[in-house]
Amino acid sequence: MVVLANTLDSLVNYCKQYGFVYQGSEIYGGLANSWDYGPLGAQLKNNLRQAWWDRFVANNHLNTGIDSGIILHSDTWIASGHVKGFQDPLLDCKECKSRFRADKLIEAHSKGQIDADGWSHDKMMQYLIDHKVNCPVCGKFNYTDIRQFNLMFKTYQGVLEDAKNLVYLRPETAQGIFLNFKNIQRTSRMKIPFGIGQIGKSFRNEITPGNFIFRTREFEQMELEFFCKPETELEWFDFWRAFAKQFLIDLGISEKNLKLYDHPKAKLSFYSNATTDVLYRYPWGFDELWGIASRTDYDLKQHQEYSKESLEYFDPETEQKYIPYVIEPSLGVERLMLALLNDALTEEVVEATGESRTLLKLHKQLAPYQVAILPLIKKQHQEMTDAIFQDAIKRLRAVYDDTGNIGKRYRRQDAIGTPYCVTIDNQTLEDDTVTVRERDSMEQVRIPVSQLVAYLEAQLSS
């Protein structure tokens, strides 16, 4: 029976307690909105990246992969529109010095009924005045004028810090794919339709980051740009929208915590003819987990215009040239990790004893450790345990644990999501069998040591 409903605070505390996520630069008092990923968090992120890569790239005949640079030619961001358009409407409270996005103040005041994205500064300020939208921090109404703030991090390449050497940390991984479209199509000899996938860091100087690792200034994206023939893009858009949702369900996310939000045509980005957000029910409510957009031919056309390099595709079937259309499913690693932790973390009452246990019911393939190797009594069973652990770690993600009594160790492994625990005891020394305990059911079976790893591999793949 589940008795724990996760709050954001409980998730933050859990992640720190068990080594998933730490405050960035903590020994120096912390760096705002900066997070480091501990042993379990780093492994879980690796597992998520691998699961996405396998499904979307390595085991998908439609797609191939790339790893492009974090720093790209500065003209990239002029062509893409980020230098001019990747900006937030910013204003400050003169009383308490708090800083806000004007559109978000309007959205919060209207309880989500008004989307002010795209409004002029004058229109947003007039709304704040007409509705007397006071500062959420100090409660007073005394704002600066609204000004535009570019979200890209700037740096300089070379010795001199001048305009000629100005570059940006990428705010998305997509543009590196577009810049290499021609190279990849030529060297891989792929034919339309095909996609290019990438996993990598992106950086956005967010004004209002928050909700733990949900919105951060440094984050990882798992992004696919799928190139297709014009007039087929909406069919492929539907395909990838369904594909993305099924991937989340296969990872173990409950379908009742997912819903699709189709952007109204009147509110689509100017370059898009269809956009859907896959929303997840986070502790604060439904919010965007995955964005899927039909971006038409905007990106390649822009880079063709600014670079003066032809990015047309020659279709060998029709013997025609055209700029491909693009479908973009873009997913954040951290947002996916937070959704999975929220979905999997429960506290259950064990009927047999009446005790409660913290349980992380992660998919077996995603769990940071797949098996824990435990000596019942360290002094008596150490040698045998070491041999079994060394054999297991060659083929499985295994951890050794001899701290505390066996009950506490079971509970600790339940709490971090380890699917199986293997206990070495006196009977092991007599007949070469071990106890294997399954996480969710807590059922136990005896398995010969010689068959242990093969048994665990079969269970983990089922």
Q: Tell me the pLDDT tens digit for each residue of 233-279.
A: 999 999 999 999 999 999 999 999 999 999 999 889 889 999 999 99
pLDDT, mean of residues 394-412: 96
Structure confidence at residue 173 (pLDDT): 97
Residues in CB range of 133: below 8 A, 6 or more apart: 105, 106, 109, 127, 141
| Helix or strand (DSSP H, E) at 202 | strand 194-203
Query: Encoding tokens for residue 53?
Result: 């890569």
Confidence tier at 197 by pLDDT (50, 70, 90): very high
Amino acid occupying residue 128: L
Structure confidence at residue 3 (pLDDT): 47
Confidence tier at 59 by pLDDT (50, 70, 90): very high
Q: 365 — phi, psi (to 5°)?
A: -75, -15
324 vs 231: CA distance, rounded Å:
10
pLDDT, mean of residues 83-102: 89
For residue 39, the Cα-to-chain-centroid distance in whole angstroms is: 17
pTM assigned to the model = 0.91
Q: In 3-state terms, what secondary structure has residue 460? A: helix
Amino acid occupying residue 304: Q
Structure confidence at residue 246 (pLDDT): 98
Domains (range + CATH), the chain: 8-72+159-342 (3.30.930.10), 87-150 (3.30.40.230), 369-461 (3.40.50.800)
- SS3 breakdown of the chain: % helix, strand, coil, rounded to 5? 35, 30, 35
